[in-house]
Chains A and B, each alone.
Chain A
Amino acid sequence: MSRIYLDHAATTPVREAALEAFVSQAKRNGNASALHSAGRSVKFQVEDARDQLAATLDADPTEVLFTAGGTEADNLALKGLYWANQPNDVIVATGVEHPAVLETLEWLEAHENASLVFVDVTEEGFIDVAAFQTALEKYAGRIALATLMWANNEIGTIQPVEHVAELCQAAGVDFHVDAVQAFGSLPITFAPGMTTMALSGHKIGAPVGIGALLVRRDAKPVPVLHGGGQEREIRSGTIADALIVAFAAAAVEATQNLTAESSRLAGLRDQLIEAVQEHIPTAKLQGPTDPNYRLPTNVHFSFAGAEGDSLLFGLDMAGIESSTGSACNAGVSRPSHVILATGQDEPAARSTQRFSLGHTTTQEDIDSVIAALPGIYRAAADAGMAAEKSSIRTANSHR
């Protein structure tokens, strides 16, 4: 049975171009920081890759700092800017941010006396821009930084980050953008008003283990990792040259036909959304109803009455690889903090299923899911009901 992969938001298959770049670079020897010929040659490839990546984001190559991934980039930006802007203690954010941001903020609150201010989001996950502006005014003079994700990893909501960046610039507030889910799916740039921006390689077809933080020339986040200062004296660690060239190759490929590819995926996305709404009327579409403000790769529903575990079981047994979309603990999905932050209740936050599309997704994949999903949903709904209409009488059931 060929399996259907619809979990690209978790990670996407490595692109051939990235793999080739990785393999050929990995065969070269030399530390990019070494001064001999081998080192210089490796360094040259890395700087070439930095130029390429910067170009896809309309950024200056100096602004690109390679990290081990998106999580490290978020940590460096949030902790680094918070420490750089002491004694300011307020961080403005939303409750729908990725755990790499939220848990870092919670750590800063618990250990570094940060005061977190969460701006409301709508039921579709959009930031309340007026409330954000109010927070900027209310805490003026105390704000260390503001942070906002470009697009939500669970429900696909595209935030008005450029507008928020302008507000931050006008207020003189450092602004971090988590662009991990947006990069490669949307045409994004390192726009004015953005101080830092986090990116991840494996979400766009590079291998896992590489990411980047874009950092404005004049910004100086305090380092989190020490020992060498290889990346602008802000990030230390031996330069991962093979991963870096693979990242650049993936970025070039993911962005060069972005308009056509986005519209192809948005078409498939809309077919799946419409089919679910038609065949499973009780399913609730999460995230934006306006397709223009939804990631072209994101389909996310709450399936009322169906156990998330049972749904995942049925889908996986049918060869369809999807996800509840939220963080998990020992294989158990936690109720989605995103759905809870949009003001919905725990049953909605526990019955979610995310189908995320990507560069390998085909029309046949979507057709197969549309054919299989209603039956899988019915079985899962029956399993959810089983406790109530059970034929099994246990010893103390009349108790």
Chain B
Amino acid sequence: MKKLKVLAAMSGGVDSAVAAARAVDAGHDVVGVHLALSRMPGTLRTGSRGCCTIEDASDAWRACEMLGIPYYTWDFSERFQEEVVDDFIEEYAAGRTPNPCMRCNERIKFAALLERALALGFDAVVTGHYAKVIEGESGELELHRAADDAKDQSYVLGVLTAEQLKHSMFPLGDTPSKEMVRAEAAERGISVAQKPDSHDICFIPDGDTRGWLEEKIDMEDGPIYDTSGEQVGTHPGAQAFTIGQRRGLSIGKPAEDGKPRFVLEISPKDNAVVVGSREMLAVDRITGIRPSWAGAPIAEEATGAWFDCHVQVRAHAEPVPGRARVTTGDVDGTDAVVWEMELDETIQGVAPGQTAVVYQGTRVLGQATIHKSINAERLAHV
């Protein structure tokens, strides 16, 4: 194996520490870098929320010392603010539901960090993501699901391009379970072995997305309509809702069927929210915009033919079987490349702005941002 100069992105958590350790064991020349994503980090992590605290930076540094590799902190706070946090706010303000972790992978970890690493003489960036990069039959790199289905993170990496995959290493992809990674960390004497996993949105430390957005976006009270157009209540600002949301809706009038109602549609233009039954959330046709291939495109890109695939719309959603094709379509008044997806079963809670990742078996073909979704049978616009 060729000895590479690799940069290990160290979050201060157990996964990235073990990933770096495995890169060292594999004989690579490894340097640990902690990404500072906030100018004013908190002192300590509380519970499983948030990251990039001073404690996390210190844990990352100690892991590097244990591994005998150099450690640095690099400041990406400005880029992170512009590319991830501001984008998150803009997307919500436009009534869409963004995935900031994907955005961070696309723009920060495998772009800003990778670019700087390449400029400073590194060959690749290694992270603790659970996913595999393997050489396909054609000799091109492919992105695949991790061995541990429960921990698989290929969804949030679905946005990576061939160029990015070429410089990425995920040493945890083959590990059968997360518990083995914890055990390995403990064996190696890495002190973060039992640190809780981080989840939720790192820049919203208390987990209150709505409260956080209310500080950033001017919100005004607006109407809640049912699908017949009748006003059934008032909301404190449409932008902080997500399609499929049930909590936080104060509806004065009970539904005729007595069942709970969910957000079906968000219209920031007239500050309106449309609600309806759970059944009305169900869709099986999705149009995705701004698509990208995770590696080489498949043959059907050129022909526009339908190809069998599975579609996954959230990090922990079940992949749903169906078909997809590459075509052109009208996107907000301009012709653009779009991916059309037809699912064999309906799924719920599909929101514009979310990412649809398209798989064939364990392989990630690529992704597109959800623009529209409908129920073919009902033809109800969502």
Contact A395 B367 (CB under 8 A): yes
**Set of chain B residues within 8 Å of A396, measured between Cβ atoms:** 106, 159, 290, 292, 369
Find out whether the CB atom of A383 lies under 8 angstroms from the CB atom of B120: yes
B-side contacts of A380, CB under 8 Å: 120
1/0 contact string of A357-395 vs chain B (CB within 8 Å): 000000000000000000000011011011100111111
Give the total of B residues in contact with A, Cβ under 8 Å. Answer: 42
Q: Which of B179-225 contact A (CB under 8 A)?
A: none
**B57 touching A310, Cβ below 8 Å:** no
Given the complex of chains A and B, what is the CA–CA distance between A399 and B103 in angstroms? 13
Residue among B31, B52, B116, B161 making CB contact with A383, cutoff 8 Å: B116
* Residues 31 to 84 of chain B near chain A (Cβ within 8 Å): 31, 34, 36, 39-41, 52-54, 56-58, 61, 70, 72-75, 77, 79
Chain A CB within 10 Å, residue with most, of B40, B77, B112, B119:
B119
Q: Are A392 and B72 in contact (CB under 8 A)?
A: no
Whole-angstrom distance between the Cβ of A325 and the nearest chain B Cβ? 15
Most buried by B among A312, A314, A333, A393: A393
Report B-chain residues with C-beta under 8 Å of the C-beta of A387.
79, 112, 115
- Shortest A45–chain B CB gap in Å is 38
B73→A331 contact, CB < 8 A: yes
With beta carbons under 8 angstroms apart, the residue of B57, B61, B74, B119 that contacts A379 is B119
Give the residues in chain A near B36, CB-CB below 8 Å: 330-332
Quick check: is A316 within 8 A (CB to CB) of the other chain? yes
Check B75 against A395 for contact (C-beta < 8 Å). no
Instruction: Give the docked Cα–Cα distance between A324 and B164 (Å).
Output: 31
Q: How far is the CB of B311 from chain A (nearest CB, A)?
A: 17
Report A-chain residues with C-beta under 8 Å of the C-beta of B290: 395-396, 398-399
The size class of the interface chain A forms with chain B is 20 to 34
Collect the chain B residues with CB atoms within 8 Å of residue A383's CB.
Answer: 115-116, 119-120
Is the CB of B350 closer than 8 A to any CB of chain A?
A: no
CB closest residue in chain B, given A391 = B163
Q: Does B107 contact A (CB under 8 A)?
A: yes
Verify if B118 is at the interface (C-beta below 8 Å from A): yes
Expressed in whole angstroms, the Cα–Cα distance for A331 and B70 within the complex equals 14
CB of B74 within 8 A of CB of A316, answer no
Residues in A neighbouring B14, C-beta threshold 8 A? none
Contact of A332 with B39 in the complex, beta carbons under 8 Å? yes
Min CB distance B289 to A, Å, is: 10
A392 to B34, CA, bound (A): 21
Q: Is the CB of B121 closer than 8 A to any CB of chain A?
A: yes
Neighbouring A residues of B77 by C-beta, 8 Å: 332
Contacts of B79 in A (CB 8 A): 387
Say yes or no: A382 contacts B119, CB within 8 Å: yes
Chain A residues in 8 Å Cβ range of B53: 330
Cross-chain contact A395 with B119 (CB below 8 angstroms): no
Interface centre among B111, B116, B121, B290 (most CB of A within 10 A): B116
A313 within 8 A of B: yes
B133 at interface by CB-CB < 8 Å: no
Cβ–Cβ contact A329 & B54, under 8 A: yes
Q: Decide if B23 is an interface residue (CB 8 Å cutoff).
A: no
Complex Cα–Cα for A22 and B78 (A): 46
Asked if A392 and B114 make an inter-chain contact with CB atoms under 8 angstroms apart, the answer reads yes
Which residue of chain A has the shortest Cβ distance to B54 in the bound complex?
Answer: A330
* A219: min CB distance to chain B, Å: 36
Which residues 107-145 of B sit at the A interface, judged by CB distance below 8 A? 107, 110-112, 114-116, 118-121
Closest to A329 in B: B41
Q: A309-B74, A394-B292 are in contact. List 14 more A-B contacts (CB 8 A).
A: A312-B72, A329-B39, A330-B53, A332-B39, A379-B119, A383-B119, A387-B115, A392-B111, A393-B161, A394-B106, A395-B159, A395-B290, A396-B106, A396-B369
Which 5 A/B pairs are nearest by Cβ-Cβ distance?
A: A331-B73, A395-B292, A383-B119, A386-B115, A330-B57
